[in-house]
A and B are shown apart, each in its own frame.
Chain A
Amino acid sequence: MCQQRKALLSELVNMKKKTTEKNGHVVAWINKAEWDQVLEYLYSKDCALQKYALHRISAWKGRFAHNTPIAVESTADLVRCQILDRSGKLDADDLVLLYGTALMRFVNLITERQQGKIARPLRRLASNLKIPEWIVNLRHDITHRKLPTLKWCRKGCKFVLEWLQQEYWSRQLGSGLAENWDSQSEGEDGEEELQRQENELITRQKEMESYKKARELLISFEKEQFQTFEEFLEEDKQTSLWPEPSADMSWILAQIKHFALESSEILIDALIEDGFMVPTIEQLVSLSVDNSDDADPTAPHLPRVVLRFWLPLLKDLNSQLFINLLLEKLFVELQQLSEDDQKHRSFYIAGWISEVILCNANKNEYHYESKIQRKARLKDKIFMKRIQLRWQQLLAACLNAPCVAMPHLLQQILEDMEHPMPLDTRQKLLRLSSIYTQGADSGYDPSMEHSGQPSGIYTLESLHERLRVQSRRQVYMMHPGTVSDSLKALPERTEDFQEHLSPDVLAERAAELRGSPWQVCTDKVQWKNYPLGKVPGQSEDPSCLMVDNFSTIMVFDQQVEMENATQHNAHAGVSMPHRVTTDGLLWTHNDISKLKAGLQLF
């Protein structure tokens, strides 16, 4: 059972991870091919290609706004220096200033994350990142000493670009990430992680220990109870009450109660394991409970002996908190059981739920019972006073745990709720639950028999059929149009998310846009298939959005008042052909990335 708990825990941890990872991150490149293209061009020796990459990064910065990765920004700055250097148009002094800024920014920005609350020397931070001291010194020279020579600047630039390629570009986006995974333990973060794991281990250890203790306590309780039970049987007084707890028993109960104060959750976990509140077959036999299968699984009812067996314990623990927690746990258990088939267990779990809720019932039907009847009834109750149950949560938990007994439990809950739901909602819920659990049709709707549908499995067709039957009835009273309307409405409801504009709306919008360059797109396109940023027929090639020709428009101080605007604004349209071709290549970049992905060495 310990293992079960462990497995559960790890599952929980996994679930948490999954939810955070599921959605992915928003980045500035359309796809991996675009990233690869930029990377390749940045580190090519061809100035034109490098420039192209810089231009693309300028577009990325527009997308990223304030979130541009600093590695990308630093690389672009340094590559820009190289291009300007190679152009031969600038003097050495100009270049030193340019290189200087780029290098300084790189060192400052890249070490920023390493800084804790207290400023630490750059040298140490840099060495954590495998940046040699001479780069840091270069930065110091540029900021507050004599400017370095162009030669040193070039050297520094070359080194840093290589460093960036190695540490960032070539490892990013899943390329070669796995093999280098362990080489980077992030200073303090790593320590924190370790600390956290350790704490987790300790708490888990503690939990395990108290769990063991809970089991021990419960086992001693069981032993004691069995003993009294056997003595009781020997006495053979069926009508008499279950004997008063012995001294040993009182002591065990006191211990359990004390334990429950601290860790009621663990106690309940142990309680609902097999062999405790869910008796094993052997236990049932020794309690002389007939374990034949005639018990109705849809309306589970605990054998009285089993209830009475646990009653002393439960009566001791019947605080509001405990009962609520117990119910919650029982439902969780039920939910997990519904997946794998354990009839015996789910019968007893559901039985206990039903029993607890029953104790809480405030029915008036007991008005006319005799005193003795009343006493007998109250004897088996876990608690007497009505307890504030968390009805909303209970209801949710119940609906989360579909099993054959669900309609029964649901009915109990719905009837008992502090603030009952509207009657029709209740009926709908019950009906839904019986549909879901495929239990017997509880006969709410006579039309089902009418149409000759076998109760049990409900399909879309049966819904259609029902609708048809109903509307056929309505025809006698209503005008015939409604039938076709309601039938037409049905397929639309089940349809997907695609927006379908009615011809009226389309016409209205078209009329309002007439005379302007705007139109409603009337292409027959299933837009729901195309994510934002993609249109039908769009190529996967990362150069597909390049603008070859464009004109520029100049706007001068515009007044917001559109009506009385004066035409003093100049308009200068400059058309300039501008091309960076990738025409010469046999394969597009996308082809190459596909090829790369398909390649397998050895």
Chain B
Amino acid sequence: MKVHKSLPKTKQTSKRQQCKDKWFKPNRIPQNSDSSNLSPSTAMAKLEHHASNLRKDKPNLKRLKKKAKAVSFRQVKTLAATERTPSRPLTNGRAGGPEQGSDSDESQDWSSFAKSVLYQNGGGESMEGQESCVSAKAAPGRIEEAAFVHCAERDYIHNRTVLVMQQGQTLCFRGKCLLSCLYGRVEVHGFTLEEGQQSYPLFSPSSHCPLTVTALGDSPNPSKTKKAGRLEAKAIVRKYLSTETRKRLLSEVDSDSCVILLEPLDTPLTRFLTSFPDLKELFGLSSRDIRDSSAMLDTPLSGLGITPLRKTAGGMVMSQTYREALNGLVNACAEELDGCPVILVCGAKNVGKSTFNRHLINTLLNHTASVEYLECDLGQTEFTPSGCLSLSTVREPLLGPPFTHQWAPEHMIFYGQSSCETDLDRYLESLKSLWRLYNRETPIVINTMGWVKGFGFQLLVDIIRLFSISHVVQLSSGDKVMCPQLTPEFLRSSHGWQTHPPVQSALGEDNSGTHPAQRSYTLFSIHSEFEGAGRPGEMRHQRSNEQRDLALLGYFSQLQSPEPGPVRPLHCFTPYQVPHSAVAVGVTHCEVAPTHVLYTANASLVGLCCLNEKVSGRGSPVLLSQTPVCPCVGFGVLRGVDMARGLYFLVTPVAPSVLRQVNCLLLGAVTLPNTLLTGQTGILGEPPYVTMDYSFELTGAGKLHVFKGLARPGQMKHAK
């Protein structure tokens, strides 16, 4: 970067800077304001702002400290980075002559990162396995019960806890909290927090693998002597603790230890979720934690809403192949030889795709301001309720399961079902139209569905072909082969649903006709080794329908006011109203008699979509004759229908400025969580669509239930 300053700014270098620029984090504040009128999650954003504003002593932006040197250079360019510049072809990314110098600084960054990943993961292994790591001070590994007495101190007045961690130590926990790094560096699910950064909310509910905070130690800074570091760390501890309480901690602090601050976290999301009787213990211990009695109940952290776990709880398991893939991808993003990497993650159900995606995105966010994310999985969506496809720009790390970050994506298309098998073409068309909106300036992670057999596999082949994938990550588990290895060679000859292998001409050279020339890609195969890989989760809140409900509840928690107060049930909100004739209504997942369509729509979840057509129905409802592929801006509950006045009433967290464009309400097979209907309190009379008298004992009262793999009597005998 220093080289840049001294160099005259030629056209070439400025271009180069342009493309380098995205590897720096722009200030987060202007971004918020530019997206505020678009996103329905402004309430959340405001709250987060509020929370961070409370802590005025901290800068508001997330930026790695070691890059502070580049500030002067960045200031010139921030505007360009925050304003959406039309995409420039990044053709001459090749470094030549002077650029070589400018590169070196950054490439050092990257290599040091790669090392740190390796170190930390290698350390992680030894932590969980054979305690072999050598360290001068406290042995690295999970902080155990006895250690908390020395390394943690609670400030009862502000209700927060300061925790001193030695390099390589980990804290694995259940619960939710706000984490800030006061000194040194810690890593959470791939994301590095450094001193001076904003605080981040962490969610570790019982439904998922518990989160782990790992101390990385202070970043190697040659300008700081050991003593200076120690003094600095001690000064920080002094700032946060009163005289009596800090004594013990001060003796623990060293120049390479990390000091973190944990505070209770109470957001509309957590308030809303835990207000449901079934979800009361969502942020508590999982049944497995209890079975293995791995919870440490009585520690200085207990009052904050988190429970540290013993070693028995495991935490995240990264296999060797997992780490290699992660490293490979991070390096690929650093090289950016051929534009930005397009990373596709695939694998059968329950092999850890979603966890890997979050880890990858978090890791990339250490180095780039944003990562694009294309959701192709309709069932286990990351940022939206299930049943829609979306393209998101991720700027914040993902430190919790999907229901904790229901952020409005940049673009979204309502499909209406949690699997795509009923209409493969609409599925692919929807994806293509999202792909067209990708600006190709940032790396993109493409998540695919767990359906990897038959047509599902063909769709995967299509996606790889159509979206010029540069890296494929294929996850697998166990010994059972769910689908063939997606090597570039294999793909050259396999058939997709819409695409087909190029016709082999005699010379094999000139086939630019129907299909774009097949770009080759790098394949990373990951073999997942965590317990239960490849099997559906059996614990509470792990079933896929429960996950779907949680995502929807997370979405609708945006309606709650950011100020603490009583949780409002959905029916208590003042609805929006719109005439029947101004919005079209469509059912995506089945044929409904047009005259009876409102019986389906009433009190249902609707996707709020925007048609190009002008919708006007001369006073009567407007129905869609088929399902369109059109943008969706959010979700709402069709709260009621006023037949006399011809009005729909809608409750939605979508901002009014966005809602005004909505002229189409789509219904799908993804329905409102039952608790929203059954748990309505304070109403007059009986709630509609709820009955106490339905008997499931009667024959035929249940839904269609397909037993898979019914054994024939003969087979059973064989097995025995």
**Taking the complex as formed, is A545 at the interface, i.e. its CB lies under 8 A from any CB of chain B?**
yes
**Taking the complex as formed, is B227 at the interface, i.e. its CB lies under 8 A from any CB of chain A?**
no
Contact of B583 among A59, A173, A517 (CB under 8 A): A517
Tell me, rounded to whole Å, the shortest Cβ–Cβ distance linking A105 to chain B.
Answer: 10
Tell me, rounded to whole Å, the shortest Cβ–Cβ distance linking A551 to chain B.
Answer: 5
Tell me, rounded to whole Å, the shortest Cβ–Cβ distance linking A321 to chain B.
Answer: 12
Query: Which residues on A sit within 8 Å (CB–CB) of B622?
Result: 550-553, 573
Dominant SS among interface residues on chain B: loop
Give the docked Cα–Cα distance between A261 and B621 (Å): 73
Instruction: Establish whether residues B697 and A184, one from each chain, have CB atoms under 8 Å apart when the complex forms.
Output: yes
Tell me, rounded to whole Å, the shortest Cβ–Cβ distance linking A418 to chain B.
Answer: 5
Instruction: Establish whether residues B623 and A55, one from each chain, have CB atoms under 8 Å apart when the complex forms.
Output: no
Tell me, rounded to whole Å, the shortest Cβ–Cβ distance linking B161 to chain A.
Answer: 10
**Taking the complex as formed, is A451 at the interface, i.e. its CB lies under 8 A from any CB of chain B?**
no
Give the docked Cα–Cα distance between A569 and B630 (Å): 13
B429 to A, closest residue via Cβ: A557
Known A23-B679, A498-B572; judge A172-B669 contact (CB<8 A).
Answer: no
Which of the segments A68-76, A247-255, A432-440 contacts the partner chain?
A: A68-76
Instruction: Establish whether residues B299 and A419, one from each chain, have CB atoms under 8 Å apart when the complex forms.
Output: yes
Which of the segments B54-62, B198-206, B466-474, B597-605 contacts the partner chain?
A: B597-605
Query: Which residues on A sit within 8 Å (CB–CB) of B339?
Result: none
Instruction: Establish whether residues B674 and A26, one from each chain, have CB atoms under 8 Å apart when the complex forms.
Output: yes
Contact with B along A69-98 (1 / 0, CB 8 A): 111111000000000000000000000000
A393 to B, closest residue via Cβ: B297
Query: Which residues on A sit within 8 Å (CB–CB) of B434?
Result: 560
**Taking the complex as formed, is A283 at the interface, i.e. its CB lies under 8 A from any CB of chain B?**
no
Known A521-B576, A545-B599; judge A553-B623 contact (CB<8 A).
Answer: yes
Query: Which residues on A sit within 8 Å (CB–CB) of B644?
Result: 537
- Find residues 469-509 in chain A having any chain B CB closer than 8 Å to their own CB: 493, 496-499, 501, 508-509
Give the docked Cα–Cα distance between A567 and B614 (Å): 11
**Taking the complex as formed, is A281 at the interface, i.e. its CB lies under 8 A from any CB of chain B?**
no
Contact with B along A36-78 (1 / 0, CB 8 A): 0000000000000000001110111111111111111110000
Contact of A27 among B640, B690, B700 (CB under 8 A): B690
Known A25-B694, A26-B677, A533-B688; judge A56-B570 contact (CB<8 A).
Answer: no
Which of the segments B7-15, B17-25, B255-263, B706-714 contacts the partner chain?
A: B706-714
Tell me, rounded to whole Å, the shortest Cβ–Cβ distance linking A74 to chain B.
Answer: 7
Contact with A along B418-445 (1 / 0, CB 8 A): 0000000000010001101100000000
Query: Which residues on B sit within 8 Å (CB–CB) of A518?
Result: 576-578, 582, 656, 659-660, 662
Instruction: Establish whether residues A520 and B576, one from each chain, have CB atoms under 8 Å apart when the complex forms.
Output: yes
**Taking the complex as formed, is A230 at the interface, i.e. its CB lies under 8 A from any CB of chain B?**
no
Query: Which residues on B sit within 8 Å (CB–CB) of A537?
Result: 642, 644
Query: Which residues on B sit within 8 Å (CB–CB) of A531?
Result: 571, 677, 680, 683, 685, 687-688
Known A24-B678, A558-B612; judge A168-B688 contact (CB<8 A).
Answer: no
**Taking the complex as formed, is A554 at the interface, i.e. its CB lies under 8 A from any CB of chain B?**
yes
Known A58-B590, A497-B568, A545-B643; judge A24-B691 contact (CB<8 A).
Answer: yes
Query: Which residues on B sit within 8 Å (CB–CB) of A112?
Result: 704-707
A517 to B, closest residue via Cβ: B582
- Find residues 1-55 in chain A having any chain B CB closer than 8 Å to their own CB: 21, 23-32, 54-55
B637 to A, closest residue via Cβ: A532
Contact of A420 among B156, B568, B660 (CB under 8 A): B156
Instruction: Establish whether residues A544 and B643, one from each chain, have CB atoms under 8 Å apart when the complex forms.
Output: yes
Tell me, rounded to whole Å, the shortest Cβ–Cβ distance linking A174 to chain B.
Answer: 4
Query: Which residues on A sit within 8 Å (CB–CB) of B611?
Result: 553, 555, 558
Tell me, rounded to whole Å, the shortest Cβ–Cβ distance linking B623 to chain A.
Answer: 5
Give the docked Cα–Cα distance between A113 and B574 (Å): 44
Tell me, rounded to whole Å, the shortest Cβ–Cβ distance linking A476 to chain B.
Answer: 27
A121 to B, closest residue via Cβ: B713
Instruction: Establish whether residues B689 and A27, one from each chain, have CB atoms under 8 Å apart when the complex forms.
Output: yes
Instruction: Establish whether residues B154 and A419, one from each chain, have CB atoms under 8 Å apart when the complex forms.
Output: yes
Instruction: Establish whether residues B703 and A552, one from each chain, have CB atoms under 8 Å apart when the complex forms.
Output: no
Contact of A392 among B297, B657, B702 (CB under 8 A): B297
Tell me, rounded to whole Å, the shortest Cβ–Cβ distance linking B19 to chain A.
Answer: 25
Most buried by A among B595, B620, B644: B595
**Taking the complex as formed, is B136 at the interface, i.e. its CB lies under 8 A from any CB of chain A?**
no
Tell me, rounded to whole Å, the shortest Cβ–Cβ distance linking A530 to chain B.
Answer: 6
Contact of B594 among A184, A573, A578 (CB under 8 A): A578
Contact of A117 among B660, B685, B711 (CB under 8 A): B711
Tell me, rounded to whole Å, the shortest Cβ–Cβ distance linking A31 to chain B.
Answer: 6
Instruction: Establish whether residues A118 and B703, one from each chain, have CB atoms under 8 Å apart when the complex forms.
Output: no
Most buried by A among B600, B615, B668: B600
Instruction: Establish whether residues B683 and A110, one from each chain, have CB atoms under 8 Å apart when the complex forms.
Output: no
Give the docked Cα–Cα distance between A535 and B640 (Å): 6
Contact of B694 among A58, A70, A173, A508 (CB under 8 A): A173
Give the docked Cα–Cα distance between A562 and B615 (Å): 15
Give the docked Cα–Cα distance between A557 and B612 (Å): 10
Query: Which residues on B sit within 8 Å (CB–CB) of A62?
Result: 587, 589-590, 592, 597, 599-600, 667
**Taking the complex as formed, is A597 at the interface, i.e. its CB lies under 8 A from any CB of chain B?**
no
Contact with B along A514-555 (1 / 0, CB 8 A): 011111110000011111111101100000111111111111
Dominant SS among interface residues on chain A: loop
Contact of B437 among A512, A545, A561, A580 (CB under 8 A): A561
**Taking the complex as formed, is B573 at the interface, i.e. its CB lies under 8 A from any CB of chain A?**
yes
**Taking the complex as formed, is B682 at the interface, i.e. its CB lies under 8 A from any CB of chain A?**
yes
Tell me, rounded to whole Å, the shortest Cβ–Cβ distance linking B132 to chain A.
Answer: 31
Contact of B617 among A168, A173, A184, A573 (CB under 8 A): A573
Tell me, rounded to whole Å, the shortest Cβ–Cβ distance linking A133 to chain B.
Answer: 17
Query: Which residues on B sit within 8 Å (CB–CB) of A173?
Result: 691, 693-695
Most buried by B among A167, A425, A521: A521
**Taking the complex as formed, is A332 at the interface, i.e. its CB lies under 8 A from any CB of chain B?**
no
Query: Which residues on A sit within 8 Å (CB–CB) of B643?
Result: 538, 544-545
**Taking the complex as formed, is B716 at the interface, i.e. its CB lies under 8 A from any CB of chain A?**
yes
Contact of B700 among A164, A520, A553 (CB under 8 A): A164
Instruction: Establish whether residues A560 and B660, one from each chain, have CB atoms under 8 Å apart when the complex forms.
Output: no
Contact of A554 among B625, B669, B699 (CB under 8 A): B625
Query: Which residues on A sit within 8 Å (CB–CB) of B615?
Result: 553
Instruction: Establish whether residues A71 and B700, one from each chain, have CB atoms under 8 Å apart when the complex forms.
Output: yes
Tell me, rounded to whole Å, the shortest Cβ–Cβ distance linking B502 to chain A.
Answer: 26
Instruction: Establish whether residues A59 and B298, one from each chain, have CB atoms under 8 Å apart when the complex forms.
Output: no
Contact of B157 among A30, A60, A422 (CB under 8 A): A422
Give the docked Cα–Cα distance between A561 and B621 (Å): 26
Instruction: Establish whether residues B576 and A66, one from each chain, have CB atoms under 8 Å apart when the complex forms.
Output: no
**Taking the complex as formed, is A388 at the interface, i.e. its CB lies under 8 A from any CB of chain B?**
yes
**Taking the complex as formed, is B53 at the interface, i.e. its CB lies under 8 A from any CB of chain A?**
no
Known A62-B587, A115-B707, A521-B649; judge A172-B694 contact (CB<8 A).
Answer: yes
Query: Which residues on B sit within 8 Å (CB–CB) of A67?
Result: 703
Known A71-B701, A167-B699, A535-B642; judge A391-B683 contact (CB<8 A).
Answer: no
Give the docked Cα–Cα distance between A65 and B668 (Å): 8
Instruction: Establish whether residues A512 and B678, one from each chain, have CB atoms under 8 Å apart when the complex forms.
Output: no
Give the docked Cα–Cα distance between A288 and B421 (Å): 84
Known A184-B698, A518-B659, A553-B622; judge A528-B683 contact (CB<8 A).
Answer: yes
Instruction: Establish whether residues A519 and B578, one from each chain, have CB atoms under 8 Å apart when the complex forms.
Output: yes
Chosen A-B contacts, 7 in total, with CB atoms closer than 8 Å, are A23-B679, A496-B572, A519-B576, A532-B672, A545-B599, A550-B622, A552-B622
With A63-B600, A173-B695 already in contact, 13 other A-B pairs whose C-beta atoms are closer than 8 Å: A58-B591, A59-B596, A65-B670, A70-B704, A119-B712, A174-B693, A390-B297, A421-B156, A532-B680, A553-B613, A554-B625, A555-B625, A559-B612
Residues of A within 8 A of B (CB): 21, 23-32, 54-56, 58-74, 109-110, 112-113, 115, 117-120, 129, 164, 167-168, 171-174, 177, 184, 186, 388, 390-392, 418-423, 425, 493, 496-499, 501, 508-509, 512-513, 515-521, 527-535, 537-538, 544-555, 557-562, 565, 567, 569, 571, 573, 575, 578, 580
Residues of B within 8 A of A (CB): 154, 156-157, 159, 297-300, 302-303, 411, 413, 429, 433-434, 436-437, 565-566, 568-579, 582-584, 587, 589-600, 602-604, 610-626, 628-631, 637, 639-644, 649, 655-657, 659-663, 667-672, 674-695, 697-707, 710-713, 716
